[in-house]
Structure 1
Amino acid sequence: MHMEAVTIKLLPDDVLADILRRLPPRSLATSRCVCKAWHDMIDAGHLLRADLLPHTLGGIFIDFRFLQVSELFRPSTRTAVFGDLSYSSANTAVSEHCNGLVLLLSDMVVNPATRRCARLPPLPPLPSRVGMEDFYVLRGDKFLAFDPSVSSHYEVASVPLVPFEERLGRMPRDSEWPPSPFVLPVYSSETKRWEERPFVRQGGAAGTIAGMLEEDRLDLDVKRYGVYLRGALYAQIQNDFCCRISMADLGEREVRCALVEDAFRFLRVWGLDESRGRCEWALRHRVDLGQVLARGIYYRREETDERWILENVNDGGAGSDGEAEEDDHNAPVVEVERETIKSDYISFLGFHPFEDVVFLCDTLTRGLAYHLKRSRLEYMGILRPRHYGHIAGSVAGVNASFPYTPCGMGELS
C-alpha cells in the first residue's frame, strides 16, 4: 500500500483527477477514504456526482393497451425529463426499466434523462445451445441489469419460455425446469455483443416441463416483470415463477411484489425472505381497499401542489386535462379535502422506489398513492389518455407500468 501511494503521488494532480473520475461512483467513494490528498481532490473537483445517480422519482411510464407508445405520468413542475422518446427513432412501448435506463419493445435501450440510446444487436443463432434449442423457439423475455453506482455499463438477459406442446420438439417432458446449467444469452454494453452464459441452479427444480405445460398459462401478451437489485436479477417467468439470476455477488435488498385481487378489493404486498438460506414469499401487508376508499381520498393544499400530468404523447403531447398532486411522500400531509368515492376497480401500478408507497390506478382514470405505514390514500392526478375511451373501448387497460428514476449515467451512443 505504501509503495502504491508513493507511485501515485508522482502523478500530476490533473492526471490523477482524470484517472479518478473514470471510476464508478461506488469505487470513487471508496477512493475518497484512501488518504486526505485524495479526499480533498475528489471533493474540490466535484468528482463524486451523486446527482447523476437515480435518487428521485421522475414519474411512471404506463403502457396502455392499444396505444402505440408508453405515456409518462409525472409531476408537472419537473420538466428535465419527458416521455416522448421519438429521438430514438423507435418510439415504441417501454418493456423494461432499470435504474434510469428503459428498454423498448423495439430492442432499443434509451436513457430519457440524457436523451441517448443504443439498439441491441439481434440475438445470435441458436445451434450452439446444446440441449436447449427447443426452449428458444419463442425467444423469451428480455430483462435489464444496470447499477450506475458500480458501472456505467448495462447488461440484458434473455430468459426463454417453455414453448407450446406442439413446438416443444425433442425435449423430454420429464425434464427439470429450470434446467441446470441454464444457458442464457446475455448482452453486455461493454463488449457490445451477446454471449451464452451458463447459470447453475441452486436447490431443487421448480417443476418439470410436463408440469409447465399442464398449467397451460403461457400468455405471450402478459407482461413478466424483472428487477435488478445489487448484483441479482429477479425475473418473473412462466406460470408466475420467480427466478433469481446472480449476475454479480454484491448482496441484495428485499424484493417485493403486489397484487390487487378478490374482485379488485384487497391489496396484498409480499416480500421475498432470503434470510438464513430461505427463499420464500412473506405477506407484508393486506389492505382492504373498500375500507380505505370509504375513509376517503386525501388532497393537498393548492399552494403546495406539485401537480401530476400525463403527457399524452400519443395525442401530440398536449398534456393531461386532469389535476395531480405532490410527489414528496415524506412531506407532512395537510388534509384539505377528503372525498369518499366508489370505484369499479383498482389496479396496481408499482412501488415508490424509495418510500413505503404503492401506486394504484382507479378505474383507468385517477392515479392514487397509498402510504403503507400511514394507511392513507392520496390523489395524484388524472392519468387517462385523452380520447382513450374512443380508441380502446371495452378492452381498455394497462399492459405494464414502470416507476421511473432518472439517471445521468449509462454507456449509450
Structure 2
Amino acid sequence: MERTIKPLIMEGDHNNAFLPDDIMINILKRLPVKSLIRFQCVCKHWRNLLKTPSFIADHLHHSGHQNPSLLFQWHQSKSSNYQLSLLDRNMQLLEVHNAPLIDYFSDVHIFGSSNGLLCLLLIDDDSSYRSILLWNPATREARHVPITMSDFQGVCDIGFGYSPIVDDYKIVIIYSRRDGAPFKVNQVEVYSLSTKSWKEIEFGVLEGVSVSTETVTANGSMFWFGFNVDEDDDEDIYEFDDYGSIVSFDIANEVFTLIPMPDIGFCREEILTVYENKLAVLCNKSTRSFDWVEMWVLTESASDESGERWRWIDKYYSNDFVGLSCVYPMIVWVNQIVCEPQPPFESDEDEINGEAKVVLYLSHAITNEFKKISIRRYGAGHTIYNYVESLVSIGNVKIEEIDPKF
C-alpha cells in the first residue's frame, strides 16, 4: 500500500512549518525522482525548492552514493537494437522507457552517461545522417542537438561529460578521415549545454593519432585510447602502436593531452573505466590454468624531477577466476570489478523458467568478495554503463515538445 506524505510546509504558512528546511531537505533528497516530480504540485515552496541547483546537487550526491545502478543497452537485430534496463544495488533488473524519437532511426548508440544524463547518437537508414539526443530518463526531458557535419564521410568519436569547474556539460566530436591511411583526426568540435552551441577547437597533440570509439569521463575530463600511427611515405606503410597513449580532454579548458599507458605488459584486452572518480584501466591476463584481472588507476600530481605529471598505480589484482576459460572485465561499479565469461550466456541447464540469462562476476576491489549473478537477457549482446538517477535539467524540453522531423 502506497504511503501518503503530507506536506511539511503549506503555502502562505512558512512561519508555522512543522519541520525546519534543513530537515525537510534531508528527507526529500532521499526520495526517487518520480516522487519528487509529483511533489512539485504540493505547494509553491516545494516546487521552487526542488528546482534549485543546491537541492539538485544534494539529491545527486545522495543518489550517487546510495543508489548507483548499471545501465544495460541490449543489442538485438539491425532493425531494433535498442532496449535499456537498470540493475540496482539489490540486483533487481528494471526496464527503462525508451528515449523519444528512436523509432525514427535505424541505429542508436549511447556515448556517455554523466550525472543521470545520457548522450545518444542516432543514425539514419543510410548510415550518413547522424543526430545527438541528450536525455534524462528519470525526468523524461530530452534535447535534440543537431550535428553540424551530419554528412561527414569518416569516423566520429564522441565524448560527453561534466566539469564542476565551469558547471557545464559538453559534447566532443572527434572527426577522423581515411586518406589512403588509417583514420586520423582532422577536426574537433565541442558543444556546450550552457551556451547551446558548437565551436571548432584546436587539436594539435592529436596529429598522427587514431582515436578509439570507447570513451569514459572522470574528474572533469574525457578519455579515449589513442593509437600512434607510424607513417612511412616511401613504402606507403602504416603501422599501429597498439594503445600507445591515452587521449585526455579537459572539459573546462577544452585542451587535449596525451597520457602514457601504464606498464601493463601483455594482456588480452584493456578497458577504460572509472574508479573513485579517477581514470582506470582494466586488463585481463591468463595462463593455461586460470584468468586474472588487474586494475591500474591514474593519479595526477606536480611534476617530479623527471618531469612526469602522471603516475599509474597497480591498484587491484584478482585471481578469483580460476577454472574459467575466458573472462573479460567490463566496468567498475560501486568498487566492484564487473566481468563476464565468454560466451556471456548460461547453458540451457541453467536457464530459469525458460528465460535466457547473462552471467556476471563481481569482485570487490577492496574486500575481495567474489560473487556470481545471473540476470535476464533481452538481446544477443549488451553494453554496460554506470548510471545514477538525478533531477539534472537539460533545458526543460519535454518529450512531447520535440518535433520528430527536427
Do the structures match in fold with TM over 0.5? Answer: yes
> How far apart are 1:86 and its partner, in Å?
4.2
* Residue of structure 2 equivalent to 1:119: 144
* Residue from 321, 334, 337 that aligns with 1:358: 337
**Residue pair 1:141, 1:160 contacting (<8 A) in 2 also:** yes
* Residue of structure 2 equivalent to 1:197: 201
Residue identity matched to 2:202: P
Once residues 259 and 79 of structure 1 are traced to their aligned partners in structure 2, the CA distance between those partners, rounded to angstroms, is 28
* Residue of structure 2 equivalent to 1:31: none
SS at the partner of 1:71?
strand
> How far apart are 1:375 and its partner, in Å?
1.2
The residue correspondences of 1:350-389 to structure 2 (distance < 5 A) are: 350-352=331-333, 355-362=334-341, 363-364=343-344, 365-385=358-378, 388=379
* Residue of structure 2 equivalent to 1:108: 133
> How far apart are 1:242 and its partner, in Å?
1.4
> How far apart are 1:87 and its partner, in Å?
3.2
Residue identity matched to 2:59: D
Q: 1:237 to 1:224 in 2, by over 3 A?
A: farther
Matched, 1:158 2:173: yes
**Residue pair 1:142, 1:156 contacting (<8 A) in 2 also:** yes
Q: 1:344 to 1:79 in 2, by over 3 A?
A: closer
> How far apart are 1:371 and its partner, in Å?
0.6
Residue identity matched to 1:189: L
* Residue of structure 1 equivalent to 2:321: 290
Which structure is higher in RCO with an 8 Å CA cutoff and minimum separation 6? 1
* Residue of structure 2 equivalent to 1:276: 302
Residue identity matched to 2:169: Y
> How far apart are 1:62 and its partner, in Å?
3.6
Once residues 287 and 121 of structure 1 are traced to their aligned partners in structure 2, the CA distance between those partners, rounded to angstroms, is 44
Number of corresponding residues: 276
Q: 1:117 to 1:82 in 2, by over 3 A?
A: farther
Question: 1:195-254, CA deviations, whole angstroms, 9 ceiling, x for partnerless residues?
Answer: 1123565xxx8xx73xx68xxxx8xxx741221423x2223344433111122269x953
Q: Which runs of 5+ in 2 are unaligned?
A: 1-13, 15-44, 123-131, 228-241, 255-275, 304-308, 345-357, 398-406
Once residues 191 and 216 of structure 2 are traced to their aligned partners in structure 1, the CA distance between those partners, rounded to angstroms, is 16
* Residue from 222, 227, 230 that aligns with 2:217: 227
Once residues 324 and 376 of structure 2 are traced to their aligned partners in structure 1, the CA distance between those partners, rounded to angstroms, is 15
* Residue of structure 2 equivalent to 1:346: 327
> How far apart are 1:358 and its partner, in Å?
1.4
RMSD: 4.1
Once residues 373 and 76 of structure 1 are traced to their aligned partners in structure 2, the CA distance between those partners, rounded to angstroms, is 17
* Residue of structure 2 equivalent to 1:337: none
Once residues 86 and 249 of structure 1 are traced to their aligned partners in structure 2, the CA distance between those partners, rounded to angstroms, is 31
> How far apart are 1:184 and its partner, in Å?
2.1
Q: Which has the higher helix share?
A: 1
Q: 1:404 to 1:164 in 2, by over 3 A?
A: farther
> How far apart are 1:402 and its partner, in Å?
0.8
Residue identity matched to 1:103: C
Matched, 1:259 2:283: yes
Once residues 312 and 179 of structure 2 are traced to their aligned partners in structure 1, the CA distance between those partners, rounded to angstroms, is 29
Question: 1:315-335, CA deviations, whole angstroms, 9 ceiling, x for partnerless residues?
Answer: xxxxxxxxxxxxxxxxxxxxx
**Residue pair 2:189, 2:199 contacting (<8 A) in 1 also:** yes
Once residues 167 and 372 of structure 1 are traced to their aligned partners in structure 2, the CA distance between those partners, rounded to angstroms, is 37
TM-score normalised to the size of structure 1?
A: 0.55
Matched, 1:61 2:72: yes
> How far apart are 1:68 and its partner, in Å?
0.4
SS at the partner of 1:407?
coil
Question: 1:98-130, CA deviations, whole angstroms, 9 ceiling, x for partnerless residues?
Answer: 22111223121111111111122122489xxxx
* Residue of structure 2 equivalent to 1:37: none
Matched, 1:408 2:391: yes
> How far apart are 1:194 and its partner, in Å?
1.3
Q: 1:63 to 1:97 in 2, by over 3 A?
A: farther
Question: 1:358-390, CA deviations, whole angstroms, 9 ceiling, x for partnerless residues?
Answer: 1222441212321111111123432433xx5xx
> How far apart are 1:272 and its partner, in Å?
1.2
Q: Which runs of 5+ in 1 are unaligned?
A: 1-12, 14-40, 127-135, 169-176, 292-341
Identity %: 15
The residue correspondences of 1:9-88 to structure 2 (distance < 5 A) are: 47=52, 48-49=54-55, 50-53=58-61, 55=64, 56-64=67-75, 66=77, 68-75=81-88, 82-88=95-101
**Residue pair 1:59, 1:403 contacting (<8 A) in 2 also:** yes
**Residue pair 2:172, 2:189 contacting (<8 A) in 1 also:** yes
**Residue pair 1:140, 1:161 contacting (<8 A) in 2 also:** yes
Residue identity matched to 1:402: Y
Residue identity matched to 2:197: R
Once residues 382 and 348 of structure 1 are traced to their aligned partners in structure 2, the CA distance between those partners, rounded to angstroms, is 17
TM-score normalised to the size of structure 2?
A: 0.56
Residue identity matched to 1:85: N
> How far apart are 1:351 and its partner, in Å?
1.0
Once residues 76 and 312 of structure 2 are traced to their aligned partners in structure 1, the CA distance between those partners, rounded to angstroms, is 30
Once residues 259 and 77 of structure 1 are traced to their aligned partners in structure 2, the CA distance between those partners, rounded to angstroms, is 27
Residue identity matched to 2:85: L
